[in-house]
Amino acid sequence: MRRRPWPAIVSAVTDHYDVIIVGSGAGGGTLAHTLAPSGMRILLLERGDFLTRETDNWNPGPVFVDGKYISQDTWYDADGQPFQPQVHYFIGGATKLYGAALYRLRPADFGEIKHADGVSPAWPLSYDDFEPWYTKAEWLYQVRGNHGEDPTEGHWSKQYPWPPVSHEPRVQQISNALSDGGYHPFHAPCGILLDEADPPVSECVRCAWCDGYPCLVHAKADADIIAVRPLLGRPNVNLVVNARVERMETDPAGRVVTGVEVTREGEREVYSADIVVISAGAANSARILLRSASERHPEGLANGSDQVGRNYMFHNSNAVVALGREPNDTVFQKTLGLSDFYLAGNGRDWPLGSIQMLGKSNAMALKGEEPKLTRFAPRWSLDKVARHGVDFWLTTEDMPQPGNRVTVDRAGRVHLAYRPTNDEEARALYHELRQILNHVGMADHHVLDKNFYMRMNVPIASCAHQAGTCRFGTNPATSVLDVNCKAHELDNLYVVDTSFFPSIGAVNPALTAMANAIRVGEHLLRRMAA
């Protein structure tokens, strides 16, 4: 007989709900917001707490050098080397720190795409299927943008709720130069609550402390501010913070989740619900499922396909600072995008990805992001780099690979095996950026690579865009979730964070997670009503 890999939970169920949601980030928070008006009893279990409003929120030293808002977790790479993953455990999840660039995937991303390192698989739904939920997510998260400017975007049924965030003079200059050079720059879709009317009526002060910082004035459209906070005080929604979900137990047949085991303030609690939704982030959702192995699910809950934890992706990204002769006084720089290299063709064998502007560098952030490179650099030289720098963010699609995977050891520790893909495409995109700099008058100047999210200098520690690990699909042998994001092998278990992605495309993932959470939420409303 097979040895039971984990001890059984002896359940003393603390409380029963209609729906339990694990994690309050882009997926879980948005789902709670979608379900709450129905009146169903919802338990939102969040490992973290509300992120404290304090001056450090906008202080690059604590944020980038000390990593004040990064979890203290230790994960292990394929060689067993420990690293500190850059994950964020707060109400709102990673969106508390995100740059709020809220992009739709392109229609082509929903089909098969040939890449240098293989074929990116098709989704079980098309862009057109997804479009209504993208629109709902853009309106919920109050995205500023202008549909119709980017030639690679898909059809849209409704314009953004707000006009785009205006370019500051240096970015406008770059945009004009790109247009003159035959490129197609567009206003990046931004989830910042900035009202540029005269006089302005919003809290947003158009600062430089957005991308990678929590918003001190609560003017960033994150999952806390937009989705979770408005639910506080609703009698049917119970938010429990500092509640870390450890594992799940099922009925004897292994078809129904009957208990959600939580550690809170050192105590063990067990909750139950008719429907259980995991949305703990791609790595942590896989961890919960793998830790929930039982006799019925010996390789982990919902893991008969051996796909849980596999196909981890996080983009092949590069941040680049181009140093111009003239100072760059831009404050909010993240207003411009360029998709001219998103698809193959026009002499390119492969799709290369997208180019965006990034939050403006400052000396402390450079020190935090590149501690080795900047160790002996005097502060004035970093200030000069930051003053003259124009920051770009290059995103190339990362391929789902079965060997890029999350596993969990017997002590419950996360192991992340990861090898980058599509390096050739990422290099080609960087080459294209160098060409672009010709058009914006920065050809002869310095270009400095910086690994924006890689403060630890360990590429896999950069978990900002983590996705995959529980992909959805129609075939239970090759996917974990069905088209509604319900586990194939269970009747009442769903996953709605970025782990459902079969491929990641080459744009930021949050809007797709939000749109999908609304989609799954509407499915659950129909299911519960029936």
Ligand X SMILES: Cc1cc2nc3c(=O)[nH]c(=O)nc-3n(C[C@H](O)[C@H](O)[C@H](O)COP(=O)(O)OP(=O)(O)OC[C@H]3O[C@@H](n4cnc5c(N)ncnc54)[C@H](O)[C@@H]3O)c2cc1C
> Can you give the binding site for ligand X, defined by CB under 6 A?
22-28, 45-48, 88-90, 93-95, 97-102, 212, 244-245, 279-281, 284, 288, 464-465, 497-498, 508-511, 513
User: Smallest distance from the beta carbon of 513 to ligand X, in angstroms?
Assistant: 5
Nearer to ligand X (CB atom), residue 204 or residue 442: 204
Distance, CA of 451 to CA of 321 (rounded, Å)? 10
Nearer to ligand X (CB atom), residue 340 or residue 369: 369
Nearer to ligand X (CB atom), residue 60 or residue 324: 60
User: Smallest distance from the beta carbon of 279 to ligand X, in angstroms?
Assistant: 5
User: Smallest distance from the beta carbon of 186 to ligand X, in angstroms?
Assistant: 16
In a 13 Å sphere around the CA of 69, the CA atoms on its Cβ side amount to 30
Residue 395 bridge partners (DSSP): 317, 354
CA dihedral sign of residues 364, 368, 370, 376:
positive
3-state secondary structure of 114: strand
Say how many C-beta atoms besides its own lie within 10 A of residue 285's C-beta: 31
Q: What are phi and psi of 173, to 5 degrees?
A: -60, -45
Nearer to ligand X (CB atom), residue 281 or residue 351: 281
Distance, CA of 259 to CA of 97 (rounded, Å)? 32
Residue 44 and residue 245 in contact, taking contact as beta carbons nearer than 8 Å:
no
Residue 9 and residue 260 in contact, taking contact as beta carbons nearer than 8 Å:
no
Residue 225: both structure tokens together: 């501010």
User: Smallest distance from the beta carbon of 215 to ligand X, in angstroms?
Assistant: 12
User: Smallest distance from the beta carbon of 199 to ligand X, in angstroms?
Assistant: 28
Residue 136 and residue 160 in contact, taking contact as beta carbons nearer than 8 Å:
no
User: Smallest distance from the beta carbon of 443 to ligand X, in angstroms?
Assistant: 28
Q: Residue of minimal CB distance from ligand X? A: 25
Nearer to ligand X (CB atom), residue 43 or residue 429: 43
Nearer to ligand X (CB atom), residue 121 or residue 359: 359
Residue 320 and residue 449 in contact, taking contact as beta carbons nearer than 8 Å:
yes
Closest CA to 489 of 308, 305, 302, 310: 302
Nearer to ligand X (CB atom), residue 88 or residue 167: 88
User: Smallest distance from the beta carbon of 511 to ligand X, in angstroms?
Assistant: 6
Distance, CA of 165 to CA of 31 (rounded, Å)? 27
Nearer to ligand X (CB atom), residue 64 or residue 177: 64
User: Smallest distance from the beta carbon of 70 to ligand X, in angstroms?
Assistant: 9
Nearer to ligand X (CB atom), residue 489 or residue 497: 497
User: Smallest distance from the beta carbon of 244 to ligand X, in angstroms?
Assistant: 5
For tokens 């396909």, the residue is 305
DSSP strands (E only) in 301-402: 316-323, 336-338, 354-357, 389-396
Distance, CA of 356 to CA of 509 (rounded, Å)? 14
Distance, CA of 468 to CA of 480 (rounded, Å)? 10
